[in-house]
Chains A and B, each alone.
Chain A
Amino acid sequence: MSPEEMVSRLEPFFAEAAGVSSARIEGFRTLTGGAVRSAFALDLHLSGSPTVQELVLLAFRPGGASTFGAPEEFGLLGAVHDLGAPVPRPAYVGEETLGRPFYVMERMAGESIGRRIVTADSLASAREALPRQLAAALASIHRVDTADPRLAFLGQPEAGQSAAEHTRLQLDAIYEMIRVEAHPVFDEAFRWLAENPPQEGALALVHGDFRIGNVLVSPDGLEAVLDWELAHIGDPIEDLGWLCGRSWRFGLDEKTCGGVGSREDLLAAYQESSGRAVSTGDLLYWEVFGNLRWGVFTLVQTRPFLDGSSRNIELGMIGRRVAETEWELLNLMEGKAL
């Protein structure tokens, strides 16, 4: 569907949803065209209102490989926003208008490119504040009531299963399904996880992809947490381990928390915000899990190149990055990581 066609369909949709006589869209443009979801920016003028709403529209490809769809993510974002966590305010949700499901949220300003966040001079003061702000954002996400009906669609551990066991078995099944060659370091890491389970705590809403690169950062610091498509119910410390993954430090390897702070900074700030003291052993468990998960995801991403369905060199080269996650897993399991 052309951008013009989208605008002409969306204007009456917004007018009806807002209960006004007419709506006008300006500045409609494509932000990203992903395989599963596409993002568009637009400025919405509602008749009778002097203000302009700056919005982002996320359209979902029906039947895509996404774990959940537009109305589900819209509800989830609402539940998180209600608790005061830094997320875009969800504004509108639609099913039919564009021929594919979509939702619309507040457009927030900030840098999202990981490499720039960890190195740009203009963001130096933001980096000072980030470990504490990231920890506070996580603590508020983890406070969302898991019984909220808007979260009912999320995957969660089965009865009698710990969150750690559930996520490990799930990832192991993906590894078995997707691998073309064996990666014995991954098998050793799965064994290590099984033998070193973390302390079991209360289940919480887990963002699932909480890292530098999926947040918006301004010179003031953290503005918004984006990219909710891997959210699930699980062990909240999973988010802390993922945030410390080596691939999300963007070259600043010594700064073990997202290239902006240390693990110790993160744990201290998380305790301050959440009241929960997390042991370094539990963080290590989830950091091993996170690096293994990223390693398995690289196998998933390179698979279309290997089976010939994609000629994209980028996907091919991702296959050669698996060794980096294997290396980091060995470092972590042997106590030699930074």
Chain B
Amino acid sequence: MTDRPSSRELLSAVERFLDEDLVPDLKGRRQFLARVAANALRLVAREMATESPSTTKRDPELLRQQIRQREYAGSEERQHLLRILREDVRAKLLVSNPRLLEADEARGRASPEGAADRA
């Protein structure tokens, strides 16, 4: 246990300091970089809130080698491969760009469990 404020509360305070105090006072490139910094903190906060952070379920290096060695060559194995790749990329996007994911899944496509049918 640690004392309050929690790491989340501190992150959130720094984020607001950047957005509300620094960004309006800065110009040009420094203003842009302050915005990027606030975005980076939001990413970190999302990652902390995710149960399995943006780490993928599978070992990407092993998958990489299997693909290079032409495993998953048959059509069913290929389907399986694309499904697990999508799951892993989805987990990363939940942290790095959830808005893109939401927009695509709201369009009813590109979700792992056939959200297309719901649209």
Binding site for B on A (CB under 8 A): 181-185, 187-188, 191, 253, 312-314, 316-317, 320-321, 323-324, 326-327, 330-331, 333-334, 336, 338
Contacts and interface: CB of A to CB of B under 8 A. Distances in A.
Interface stretch (B7-15, B19-27, B34-42): B34-42
Contact of A182 (B37, B40, B64, B96): B64
Interface in B29-87: 32-33, 36-37, 39-40, 43, 60-61, 63-64, 67-68, 70, 81-82, 85-86
What band does the interface of chain B fall in when counting residues whose beta carbon is under 8 Å from A?
A: 20 to 34
B95 to A, nearest CB: 8
Interface of B: 32-33, 36-37, 39-40, 43, 60-61, 63-64, 67-68, 70, 81-82, 85-86, 88-90, 92-93, 95-97, 100-101, 103-104, 107, 109-110, 116
A263 B115 CA distance: 25
A266 to B, nearest CB: 21
Contacts, number: 79
Contact of A253 (B33, B36, B103): B103
Contacts of A326: 85, 89, 92
Contacts of B61: 181-182
B73 to A, nearest CB: 9
Interface residues of chain B: helix, strand, loop or mixed (majority): helix
A317 B42 CA distance: 11
Contacts of A313: 33, 36-37, 40
B21 to A, nearest CB: 18
13 contacts: A183-B64, A184-B67, A187-B63, A188-B82, A188-B85, A312-B33, A313-B37, A314-B32, A323-B92, A326-B85, A330-B85, A330-B86, A331-B110
B82 A334 contact: yes
Contacts of A314: 32-33, 36
Interface residues of chain A: helix, strand, loop or mixed (majority): helix
B100 A327 contact: yes
A313 B36 CA distance: 7
Given A182-B60, A185-B89, 19 more contacts: A181-B60, A184-B64, A184-B67, A184-B85, A185-B85, A188-B82, A253-B103, A312-B33, A314-B32, A317-B36, A317-B39, A317-B40, A324-B93, A324-B97, A327-B89, A327-B110, A330-B82, A336-B109, A336-B110
B119 to A, nearest CB: 12
Given A182-B60, A184-B63, A191-B67, A324 B100 contact: yes
Q: 5 tightest A-B contacts by CB?
A: A182-B64, A184-B63, A323-B92, A182-B60, A187-B67
Contacts of B104: 327, 331
Contacts of B63: 182, 184, 187
A188 B63 CA distance: 10
A321 B81 CA distance: 22
Nearest to B103: A253
B16 to A, nearest CB: 17
Contacts of A191: 67-68, 70
Contacts of B116: 336
Contact of A330 (B39, B68, B89): B89
